[in-house]
Structure 1
Amino acid sequence: MASAPQSRYYESHGLRLHYADWGNNGAPVAILVHGGRDHSRSWDVIAKSLQPHFHVLAPDLRGHGDSEWTRGGSYALTEYVYDLAQLVRSIAAPQVTLIGHSMGGMVSLIFSGSFPDLVAKLIVLDGVTMLPDTPKPPVHERIGKWIAQLDKLHDRTPRRYASLEAAAAQMMLHNKRLARDLALHLATHGARRNEDGTYSWKFDPYQRASAPHRLWSDDHVALWSRITCPTLLLNAGESFLAGAKAAGLERYFRNARIETIAGAGHWLQHDRPQEVLGAIRKFLGLAAVSG
């Protein structure tokens, strides 16, 4: 089994996008889609566990990891969906299993509702970020908020860290459960070295802005109803997302079930890796992890 993946690239929207390829050609394809301000190597534990059974690919979304940033800082969810569609097309997979975390979960849900025939199974890790019946703010408010966000980001200086250890320490401040060695792994793949020897995060700060033309709750619900494959909504017991606490979300899907990982925050795959892995493997019909 590969201890580290191959780096591969493909083109989407004129951008050179990167993905980690864990190998196992000829096996069913599983694509692991990270969340905002994250990167493909965040999935290593899950990727290694699934690799004997799947050809595992983990893309760096545009503006993240080793993928190019967009010109003009445009990062609507549908643009990530386009990139995912291009990846599926480039590998010529008839069907894929999708596993998405947070924003990557939303991207996976939108893709699965838009192209239900292409998705064999869908797992969303704490990724329902918009609830049904969420009120839609007036359009002038959405545009005003977006412009204010872009103005603020334009004037922002990227933070610099003296070392990868310092960058990892910053991640541990945001997630109290994050183990030091995992934080260092995430920082090693999530930061790049500046000319002065300091480190800054690889992600484009502009992906923090909320596009005013985004999909709204009725759009998401319409897409959920079109998803035909078995779906697992795997929530974090101590998530900050309302979606993790909402009762009855499965009724919006044809074939979904909700499970909750107790004692885990939003980064459930880092907080409770064995429990998350066990739930994923069970849902995919794989044997329990030994050891």
Structure 2
Amino acid sequence: MADDVNVRADEKLDDDEPVRLQPDLPPEIASPLAPFKGAEPQSPPWFKAAIAREPERSLVPVDGANIELLTWGDVGKPGLILVHGNSAHADWWSFIAPFLADDWRVAALSLSGMGGSDWRETYSFESFATEIWECAKAAGLYAAPVKPIYVGHSFGGSQVFYSACNHPDRMRACLMLDTGFGRPPTPEQIEKMRARAIAEGRPEEARRIGGPPSRTQPNRVYATLEEALTRFRFMPPQVPGNLYVADFIARRSLKRAPMPDGSGEGWTWKFDPFMWGKLNRDEMDRATPADAPPLAHIYGENSSVMKRNWNGEDYSSPIPASAPQVAIPDSEHHIMVDQPLALVAALRTILATWPG
């Protein structure tokens, strides 16, 4: 599945172990919020109005961990549950969900190890599926006449796809956003893909091939919020389409933490840095769509994830050719950052006519 989302950048690889730093990245990619020096960028009226529709926030206990849940709209309306990408959190949906809440009961959760949810000793696709299901029930999504639709972005798309294949009775349909498919590449495949990218004049892409690395150190604690915000970046690397969205997401990706030297409190990232290494990815072998409910896909037209082909010439998508598939123009992987209103329009259109 695709690797994803917000992580830190730092000059010292041994100091802040981010995700495959590329030292020659331009500053607008490596540190897009640095020019604001901790201040919030200007945002348009639509965005201010959307985030003003604050969700109800709660914690749902699931197998020994408290899972963060956000909800909008009235119980009894058809349900949507929204699942974020790797290292992200429920608030990635806080400026999207309000546009859907007049017609839907909308829920968004932070998977364990991310956002305001507890961390676990180990993670699995099955445990994530249980968290999504329990949060959907706690949000009242099954009080509607029809079952909810599961929606997931990137890594979250792989989670809702897994649920669709293994627990189709829990949902009416499954909608994925910029979700890549395929097992992790072998070392030989990685070298082949890197060589191809270099030969085709794509050295930046060649350096990104290989997926999320294993982490060996905890998240760094920054002395100030400004310093932490300057370390925020996206993975895969890209210029954020809207910096006010990036800033909103970044601020909600941070929490207070003691400084290692005992000098007081600083700021650190909410996600479990060891999550990827503690996740059993072999469970995706059980995800075959033969009995899955209807599937659909929305993706960024310029997404590096969708262009990347983990399995060389053998790659094939499990999404049927007849399924709705919508490309969002002028968008990379993080569609809600690049083209949030276009994403809202695409979601509204698909959900108004599909799955029927």
Specify the alignment match of 1:157 in structure 2.
Answer: 218
Q: Distance in 2 between matches of 1:100 and 1:18?
A: 16
The aligned runs of 1:5-154 (5 Å cut-off) are 5-70=55-120, 72=121, 74-90=122-138, 91=140, 93=142, 95-130=147-182, 153=215
Shift of the 251–8 alpha-carbon distance from structure 1 to 2, 3 Å rule, reads closer
Shift of the 8–212 alpha-carbon distance from structure 1 to 2, 3 Å rule, reads closer
The answer as to 2:236 corresponding to 1:236 is: no
Specify the alignment match of 2:253 in structure 1.
Answer: 190
**CA drift at 1:82:** 1.7
Specify the alignment match of 2:239 in structure 1.
Answer: 176
Query: Residue 167 of structure 1 is aligned with which of 217, 220, 228?
Result: 228
Query: Residue 270 of structure 2 is aligned with which of 202, 206, 231?
Result: 202
**CA drift at 1:80:** 0.7
* 8 Å CA contact retained: 2:84, 2:92: yes
Q: Distance in 1 between matches of 2:251 and 2:111?
A: 17
Specify the alignment match of 1:259 in structure 2.
Answer: 326
* 8 Å CA contact retained: 1:129, 1:243: no
Specify the alignment match of 1:269 in structure 2.
Answer: 336
Alignment: residue pair count: 266
Q: Distance in 2 between matches of 1:247 and 1:261?
A: 26
**Aligned-residue identity in percent:** 23
**CA drift at 1:85:** 2.1
Deviations 1:123-143 (A, max 9, x none): 101123326xx7789xxxxxx
Q: Distance in 2 between matches of 1:52 and 1:162?
A: 41
| Largest Rg, 1 or 2 | 2
**CA drift at 1:184:** 2.1
SS of 2:175's equivalent?
A: strand
Deviations 1:73-104 (A, max 9, x none): x1222221121122234446161111100111
What is the Cα-based RMSD across aligned positions, in Å?
3.1
TM-score by length of 1: 0.79
Specify the alignment match of 1:3 in structure 2.
Answer: 53
**CA drift at 1:158:** 1.6
* 8 Å CA contact retained: 1:100, 1:107: yes
Whichever residue aligns with residue 273 of structure 1, its letter is: P
**CA drift at 1:185:** 1.2
Q: Distance in 2 between matches of 1:213 and 1:244?
A: 19
Q: Distance in 2 between matches of 1:243 and 1:215?
A: 24
Specify the alignment match of 1:214 in structure 2.
Answer: 282
TM-score by length of 2: 0.66
Whichever residue aligns with residue 128 of structure 1, its letter is: G
Q: Which segments of 5 or more consecutive residues in structure 2 lack a partner in the other structure?
A: 1-49, 188-212, 259-263
Q: Distance in 2 between matches of 1:24 and 1:76?
A: 31
Specify the alignment match of 1:145 in structure 2.
Answer: none
Q: Distance in 1 between matches of 2:110 and 2:58?
A: 10
Q: Distance in 1 between matches of 2:92 and 2:266?
A: 22
Q: Distance in 1 between matches of 2:342 and 2:320?
A: 24
Deviations 1:220-249 (A, max 9, x none): 3x2x222223x2211222223257779995
Q: Which segments of 5 or more consecutive residues in structure 1 lack a partner in the other structure?
A: 138-150, 287-291
